[in-house]
Copies of this chain bind each other. A is one copy, B any other.
Amino acid sequence: MKVTKIRVAILEFLIAKKAPYTAQEIYQTLQENKALNSVDLASVYRNLDKFVKSGIASHCQLSDATLRFELTKTEHHHHIICTSCQQIDHLFTCPLTVSFSDKIVKNYKNLSHKLELYGICPSCQSK
């Protein structure tokens, strides 16, 4: 994997931010940099794909149906999203294992949540 301006810029962006971002958001940020304002959205997508395949970054699909990317975290974590400003924060307390009392969560109001479990179902196991 070669070191190119776009790659460096995307990684710098992802390192600086802690929440997951969409390709378009990253693209817009690059546009503001005069040295990179000719980059193409397709290149951003291709690089993000490459980062994901190489394990540097990970997909993260929230409910808004657009793909987001973040640097791969070693720790298991979830996201808490403000339903007003859409800001996304990280949550390292997992409600599946411990009862829920994270400090971050306590500061939010009108809490709701969405959980999905994934696994191999009984009928697939017996195939």
Contacts and interface: CB of A to CB of B under 8 A. Distances in A.
Interface in A44-66: 61-66
Q: How many copies does the complex hold?
A: 2
A109 interface: yes
| Residue from A66, A83, A117 having most chain B Cβ neighbours under 10 A | A117
Contacts of A100: 96
Interface residues of A, number: 43
Nearest to A120: B109
Contacts of A89: 121
Interface string A82-96: 111101010100111
7 contacts: A81-B117, A81-B118, A84-B120, A108-B119, A110-B120, A112-B119, A114-B115
